[in-house]
Structure 1
Amino acid sequence: MKLLLCLECGDLFNLDYSIKKCSCGKVEGKYIDNINAVYKGGVAVPMGISNPSLLEAIRNQPEKGMGEEFTAFTIPKKCPTFIKQDQ
């Protein structure tokens, strides 16, 4: 799953096939197809969540206590499937 983090307002949001923006409007992005996405914003940090890791954490969600961890990561600045576009 691809996400965008706005370092200006702190919003972290997932992408869709239509453009989504953070609260302050300085970061936006969208999916082009099932794999490829584009984004804009000088304060944007592309991020990802490992889908299998997230599904496993959901299956193992405890009733109480600490939640189940899953894998999240920053996506490289130059990534062929998540492309930063000029403003």
Structure 2
Amino acid sequence: MKLMYCAHCQDIVRLFPEKRSCKCGKSWGHYLEDKSTTVQTWPSLSIGIANPDFVQAERAFASAPKTFSPEITMRCWINPVSEPDVTFVQGVQAEESPAAAEQTGPPQ
């Protein structure tokens, strides 16, 4: 699962195939058809959550919602710019020309 963190308003948004924006509207992102690769605006952050960890944590919480346990923890990370399944683009340019926007994304 990937989340997008907006560097402008500090909102966190779960990404879906449909384009979604943060609260302030300066960051947006979505999954591509492969359901793994995301496109999102720079300088937002791409946050990955280990899917198996999330499933385990959700089940553990559902079985004992008042109890803390290591089973309700999960691994998550910020995807680096070099991550092949995250493409960063500039917001306005991406609307006009996705190819041009990809060339003006984050520092390499």
**TM band (smaller chain):** 0.7 to 0.9
Aligned residues of 1:2 and 1:48 also touching (Cα < 8 A) = yes
> Which has a greater percent of helix?
2
Structure 2 gaps of 5+ residues are 92-108
Q: How does 1:10-29 map to 2 (within 5 A)?
A: 10-29=10-29
Structure 1 gaps of 5+ residues are none
TM-score by length of 1: 0.88
Count of residue pairs brought into register by the alignment: 86
Q: Does 1:81 align with 2:102?
A: no
> Which has a greater percent of strand?
1
Q: Percent identity?
A: 27
SS in 2 for 1:60: helix
Aligned residues of 1:26 and 1:41 also touching (Cα < 8 A) = no
1:63 aligns to what? 65
| Higher alpha-carbon Rg | 2
Aligned residues of 1:40 and 1:84 also touching (Cα < 8 A) = yes
Task: Give the Å deviation of 1:54.
Answer: 0.4
Q: Which has the higher contact order (CA 8 A, sep 6+)?
A: 1
The 4+ residue runs of structure 1 with deviation greater than 4 A are: none
TM-score by length of 2: 0.72
